[in-house]
Amino acid sequence: MLSATFLALCLTFAEQTISLPNHGLGPSAYTVPGAFPTSLYQSYYNDPTATSAEPQPVISDPVTDETYPYWLTDPETIPQNDTFEAHPLPPPATSDVFLETAISQIISIAENPVFGNDTCTRCQASLEVAKFLVMATPAQGPLLATRLCEHFNYTNDCGTMYGIYTLGSFITQTLAYADVGGYDGQMICSNFLSLCPVAPTSPLNLTSWFAKPKPDPLPPRKQPTGQRLKVLHLSDLHIDPRYSIGSESNCSAYLCCRVQSYNPASMDKITAPAARYGSYYCDAPYPLILAALQAVPVVTGTEEDGFNFTIYTGDLVSHDPDNELSRYAVTFHSQAKTVLYDLIGRMIKTGPVYAVQGNHDTYSQAMSSPYNIGHGLTNQYKWYVDYDHLAALWQLEKWISLETAQQARTHYAAYSVQRQDGLRIITINTDFCASSANYFNYINLASSDNSGMLRFLTDELQDAEDAGDRVWILGHVLSGWDGTEPLENPSNLCDVDRFSPHVIAAIFFGHTHEDQLTIFYTNNATTMSAETAQTAAWIVPSVTPISNLNSGFRMYEVDSGTFDILDAYTWAADVNTFPELDGQTEFGPTYALEYSTRSAYGDSITGWGPNDPLNATWWHLVTEGRALNSDAVQLFNTYQGKSSVRTPECTGDCITAKICYMRSGSSSLSFANCPAGYGTVSNGYYP
């Protein structure tokens, strides 16, 4: 019932309005009846006379005669999503449409002015497009790489370089599994396309990396015996059984000295015939390999007694283009390995040989995938990256034991040998921890040790420390110098501070074909001095002359108690004279002593006796002397190219750079501290 108060209010309002003038209108006020007019509709879903709920009349559509259901207006059952009707989406794209769309989007990113000069953002955004393409349609990955190569004019033979049979599959896998929008992508854009700055080295947390802290105080130093061991160091033979004498040696397309080689400036006439014993832009023919191996025993004085042992720091086979490498080339490359190991063993009294795998000893070059890649790809190239075959060859030559060979088979051809004399040899596969050319390294690159190779090295060093052994570490790709070869993260983790100087006596690399050296310091080289210098890494010159280099090899004199290097002798043959040896058989190349390390660099160092080691401290003092003497740097520069006539002079910024490179055991230090562009003499010029 209406309250008396409400009725009184209504009468008062009516009395107040009745007095207004009437202009032919109805009442000035009207009170609507309270009951809902139920006669408006024939039927209802609920009781329309009730005052506790809104009336729900039954409504029919006059066009369709459809009666709308009660749930449509029922306040208790308001639908949240229309799950009854279709919500159209675009049809799935075909593989070809995916490819064309990806190409057009990447081109749009490259040309979009909104990015301005930010080439790094453009590059990583494009990698994201490529990533989703290869994840959805992997077969399009090589086609994408080829098409983009053609559009951006990266090379004149994109199909050969980036097709499925060459680099295309490696690129596709890397894009699929790498964090292309993050660290991995920035390093890809930096190292392969020069569109991003080098990513900062990931900070190292070594708190739990080492099983034990560094001993304090250090164990007593090993005492020298005064007995000198002779150790041969060979590297980078790069035999080319397909070398064609008389072919073009100054060609435009790698590799020269092949039947198909040509010089575009003289298509009809050979400008520089390939000499019988080798040429500057070519790998080593059989005659040069044999000449070097014949010379070794004679010039080193080991014809009778031989060497105490030998180290070989990788790369046996030639620098074949990727399109000339395949499953069918396995026999060719296996032959090269078999031939060279056999020749070394038969022509030189080597003693035990400790060899490592080089980046050219795999298919394709440097491509070694980690065991944890998964997705059915763990052993994808087992037929070529054949650790079993390498281990079997080393065992067959009686250089390593059955047990050590088995370790090499399961550790990417890396192994550790504990010799009876107190020296432990630890070899590592640097395709993982130092090679920027291994595409698989760009998957989870920020982790620093995706393959576990550095875990293996650290554990072996700990075992050596526990056993009181001294250690030589052997690898192929160097960890430092000018920073152009290794990646920052793994090489930074290769910091040897924890196990130096009491465990690690020396480190040895090859790869660059040049004569170089780097120094490791305490605390990642925050202070560089004779007191903080810990270990030196020796980078040995190659037998192959490629490129613009002479042919060479080295012998170390090593104390049998400390295993420190007391002197190093380097021999070289002048490739510039090789054409003169053609057409006759009386004379071959002459390997002459180029220099003794102690004699060449030791004059400026006082207080260093003839039997004191050429260790990191000595080498740092050498760099201090060079900082004051440009002639000393020029001498080092000459020896870097094995005294090749094509080695450029080192002046100005080059002098500063060379000293800085020598003090950069890791690439991170070089990038942070050193002038760029002076790392190699093989170009024949400096900036």
pLDDT for 149 equals 94
CA distance 343 to 241: 14
- List the single range of 11-20, 135-144, 638-647 with lowest mean pLDDT: 11-20
Side chain identity at 580, as an amino acid letter? E
Ranges of beta strands (E only) in 477-561 are 504-509, 516-521, 533-539, 551-559
pLDDT digits (tens, 9 = 90+) for 365-422: 777 777 777 666 656 555 445 788 889 999 999 999 999 999 999 999 999 999 999 9
pLDDT for 12 equals 53
Using an 8 Å Cβ cutoff, are 642 and 591 in contact? no
- List the single range of 42-51, 75-84, 282-291, 591-600 with lowest mean pLDDT: 75-84
Q: Is CATH 3.90.1150.10 correct for 228-673? A: no
**DSSP H or E stretch at residue 489:** helix 488-493
pLDDT digits (tens, 9 = 90+) for 493-521: 666 899 999 999 999 999 999 999 999 99
Residue 202 has pLDDT above 90, yes or no: no
The whole-number average pLDDT for the span 206-229 is 93
How do the domains of the chain map onto residue ranges? Answer: 30-75, 95-191, 228-673
- List the single range of 198-207, 348-357, 553-562, 654-663 with lowest mean pLDDT: 198-207
Average pLDDT, whole number, for the chain?
A: 90
Using an 8 Å Cβ cutoff, are 537 and 520 in contact? yes
Q: What is the DSSP string of 381-429?
A: TTTTS-HHHHHHHHHHTTSS-HHHHHHHHHTTT-EEEE-TTSEEEEE--
Side chain identity at 164, as an amino acid letter? I
Half-sphere exposure of 147 (CA within 13 A, CB side): 16
pLDDT digits (tens, 9 = 90+) for 28-85: 899 999 899 999 999 999 999 888 889 999 999 899 999 999 988 888 888 787 777 7
Global pTM reads 0.85
CA distance 281 to 279: 6
Higher-confidence residue of 463 and 626: namely 463
CA 111 to each of CA 118, 154, 186, 366, 609: distance values in angstroms, whole numbers, following the listed order: 11, 17, 19, 34, 65
pLDDT for 383 equals 43
Side chain identity at 40, as an amino acid letter? L
pLDDT for 376 equals 61
Q: In what order do the strands lie in the sheet with 309-312?
A: 353-355, 309-312, 228-234, 551-559, 565-573, 591-596
Task: Determine what percent of the chain is predicted with pLDDT higher than 70.
Answer: 92
CA distance 351 to 475: 19
Higher-confidence residue of 5 and 636: namely 636
Using an 8 Å Cβ cutoff, are 444 and 639 in contact? no
The whole-number average pLDDT for the span 457-474 is 97
pLDDT for 370 equals 75
Higher-confidence residue of 10 and 671: namely 671
Half-sphere exposure of 155 (CA within 13 A, CB side): 12
Residue 557 forms beta bridges with which residues? Answer: 230, 567
CA 136 to each of CA 94, 170, 184, 214, 615: distance values in angstroms, whole numbers, following the listed order: 10, 16, 20, 49, 54
Q: What is the DSSP string of 156-221?
A: S-HHHHHSTTTTHHHHHHHHHHS-TTSHHHHHHHHHTTS-SPPPPPPPP--TTTSSSPPPSSPPPP
CA distance 20 to 261: 114
What residues have CB less than 8 Å from 501, skipping those under 6 apart?
Answer: 218, 534, 535, 615, 616
- If 0-12 CB within 10 Å is exposed, 13-18 middle and 19+ buried, where does residue 294 land? middle
pLDDT for 120 equals 96
